[in-house]
Amino acid sequence: MIVDPLTPVLSETWDAERSWTLETYTDAGGYRGLEKALTMAPDDVIAAVKDSGLRGRGGAGFPTGMKWGFIPQDDEGAGAKPHYLVVNADESEPGTCKDIPLMMAAPHTLVEGVIISSYAIRASTAFIYVRGEVLHVLRRLQRAVQEAYLAGHLGADIHGSGYSLDVIVHAGAGAYICGEETALLDSLEGRRGQPRLRPPFPAVAGLYASPTVINNVESIASVPMILERGPDWFSAMGTEKSKGFTLYSLSGHVERPGQYEAPLGITLRQLLDLAGGVRAGHRLKFWTPGGSSTPILTDEHLDVPLDYEGISAAGSMLGTKALQIFDETTSVVRTTLRWVEFYKHESCGKCTPCREGSWWMVQVLRRLEAGQGTAEDIDLLLDMSANMAGRSFCALADGTSACVDSAIEYFRDEFVAGMTTPAWELFPYAASALHAPADTVGASR
Ligand SMILES: Cc1cc2nc3c(=O)[nH]c(=O)nc-3n(C[C@H](O)[C@H](O)[C@H](O)COP(=O)(O)O)c2cc1C
Ligand code: SF4
């Protein structure tokens, strides 16, 4: 018997008629987690999330309940600072595409999660910071928040519990760095979005210098089901240290790209089986486990468990579980150049190694792409990378180094070839365009 490994929980109602409305969400059992949470003490809600083993889905995998536990819980009375919940909905990493579909298809999952999470950390104001370009998502979220107010799930004295909460949906101006949590806070406060020095950590001095929890959309949207079905139900899925289910986003040279919700620990081979495999007539060359800032892997890694430990043992990071699939028609030099161009553009400029290093990397990669590289270029790239990773203010520089280092590790030959032959001759770009016939020939730039 073949057991379907998918576990649609967050995505359960995405195909329902008008899935984004309060009516559809409530008919499917929505807001029952909130009802239960409001009968519990806030500390017990935190304990339930801790017990579930939920780890942050924004990239680093930090345990969510533990993060909430860092908020000082006994600071009531005159002079006490307010607590804030801030949802990171800035999703901008190349390849990462899970939070936006979630907010489009089922925004109430997030709204309910925000209410429960805010109750747990004793916050009376919460913010959802959405990337500015996605106007359609903003509108959908704003409507969902309005519906929640009208239904009494938000506002004063929610369901007669005595607990009150206001939710503000805030549009960023569209900068990848504003997804870094402290840059996000600066942006939310009206300043230019650049990372802050830590400590103090946001749990102590975050938004408006007050205790703040910042969590990813998927992390917060996972909370209602944990409350409704219990921490044991959640922790029964996944692996020893990576519990529960998650959204894996398959994109690129794959037959059926999209969101696949499955327990942590599933493998890329299993996911590709579900997604119809690599583009017909082609084979897997390389892939990212969690967006372009996570070191690339190859077809040697098809059976690595897609959990935090498995991917780390294979030399990469699970990140946002954005599985970008590239077949044998793809030039690694060109792909790396495109990613580094993105990071160069998005570098906030605060620190020299990242600001200057990413610019110089682009110059070197451009000449390698054009077949005009020099014999020193590979070492030069590795040297620049070593001067950026761990020597810059935030992880944007580490991510830039990671994609360059891993590309050279697995496909050094292509960088050597870039000293004599243009990448568009070795890998005609039309052949890697999606839906291009398998026998496409001819170069194009
Ligand atoms: C350059 C950069 C961009 C980031 N972008 C996002 C983002 O768009 N969404 C997100 O949730 N986390 C992003 N992060 C991670 C956040 O800093 C933070 O770890 C996360 O929001 C915490 O939420 P979690 O514990 O629920 O994962 C980014 C980090 C860096 C360094
Ligand atoms: S590493 Fe780059 S993005 Fe991060 S603070 Fe420094 S310059 Fe800005």
Residue nearest to atom 5 of ligand 2 (CA): 393
Q: Does residue 281 come out as left (phi exceeding 0), alpha (psi in the -120 to 50 range) or beta?
A: left
When pLDDT is cut at 50, 70 and 90, the band that residue 80 belongs to is confident
When pLDDT is cut at 50, 70 and 90, the band that residue 98 belongs to is very high
CA of 96 to the centre of ligand 1 (A): 11
Q: Which two tokens stand for residue 393?
A: 């203010």
Residue nearest to atom 4 of ligand 2 (CA): 394
Please report which helix (H) or strand (E) contains residue 287, including its range: strand 284-288
Kindly report, as residue ranges, where domains of CATH 1.20.1440.230 are found in the chain. Answer: 332-432
Taking the CA of residue 177 as reference, the ligand 1 atom at the shortest distance is 1
Report pLDDT for 442: 46
From 172, 194, 230, 214, select the one nearest 68 (Cα to Cα): 214
In whole numbers, what is the pLDDT of the chain averaged over residues? Answer: 95
Report pLDDT for 85: 98
Taking the CA of residue 96 as reference, the ligand 1 atom at the shortest distance is 8
Q: CA gyration radius for the chain?
A: 23
Report pLDDT for 444: 47
More confident residue, 79 or 414: 414
In short, whether 90's Cβ falls inside 6 Å of ligand 1 is: yes
Taking the CA of residue 57 as reference, the ligand 1 atom at the shortest distance is 27
Question: What 8-state DSSP symbol labels residue 132?
Answer: T
pLDDT at 103 over 50: yes
Report pLDDT for 5: 86
Quote the CA–CA distance of 57 and 98 in Å, as a whole number: 10
In short, whether 104's Cβ falls inside 6 Å of ligand 1 is: no
CA of 4 to the centre of ligand 1 (A): 31
Over residues 240-262, the pLDDT tens digits come to 999 999 999 999 999 999 999 99
pLDDT at 3 over 90: no
Please report which helix (H) or strand (E) contains residue 386, including its range: helix 377-388
Pocket around ligand 2 at a 6 A CB cut-off? 177, 195, 347-351, 354-355, 392-394, 396-397
Q: Which two tokens stand for residue 196?
A: 């802050």
In short, whether 423's Cβ falls inside 6 Å of ligand 1 is: no
The proportion of the chain whose per-residue pLDDT surpasses 90, expressed as a percent, equals: 92
Best mutation site among 180, 220, 223, 317 for ligand 1, i.e. most ligand atoms within 8 A of its Cβ? Answer: 180
Report pLDDT for 437: 59
Report pLDDT for 434: 80
Q: Which CATH class is domain 22-235?
A: alpha beta
Over residues 156-173, the pLDDT tens digits come to 999 999 999 999 999 999
CATH ID of 245-327, from 3.40.50.1100, 3.40.50.20, 3.40.50.720, 3.10.20.600: 3.10.20.600
Taking the CA of residue 348 as reference, the ligand 2 atom at the shortest distance is 8
Residue nearest to atom 8 of ligand 2 (CA): 348
Over residues 270-284, the pLDDT tens digits come to 999 999 999 999 999
Task: For residue 85, give the ligand nearest its CA.
Answer: 1
In short, whether 351's Cβ falls inside 6 Å of ligand 1 is: no
CA of 321 to the centre of ligand 1 (A): 13
Quote the CA–CA distance of 403 and 218 in Å, as a whole number: 25
CA of 291 to the centre of ligand 1 (A): 12
Kindly report, as residue ranges, where domains of CATH 3.40.50.11540 are found in the chain. Answer: 22-235
Report pLDDT for 77: 65
pLDDT at 69 over 60: yes
Kindly report, as residue ranges, where domains of CATH 3.10.20.600 are found in the chain. Answer: 245-327
Answer yes or no: pTM beyond 0.85.
Answer: yes
pLDDT at 211 over 60: yes
Residue nearest to atom 29 of ligand 1 (CA): 180
CA of 320 to the centre of ligand 1 (A): 9
Over residues 403-441, the pLDDT tens digits come to 999 999 999 999 999 999 999 999 999 999 986 655 554
Over residues 216-229, the pLDDT tens digits come to 999 999 999 999 99
CATH 3.20.20.70 fits 332-432, yes or no: no
Task: For residue 318, give the ligand nearest its CA.
Answer: 1
Peptide bond into 202 cis (omega under 30): no
In short, whether 220's Cβ falls inside 6 Å of ligand 1 is: no
Q: What angle do CA 43, 155, 58 make, to 5 degrees?
A: 55
Over residues 307-320, the pLDDT tens digits come to 999 999 999 999 99
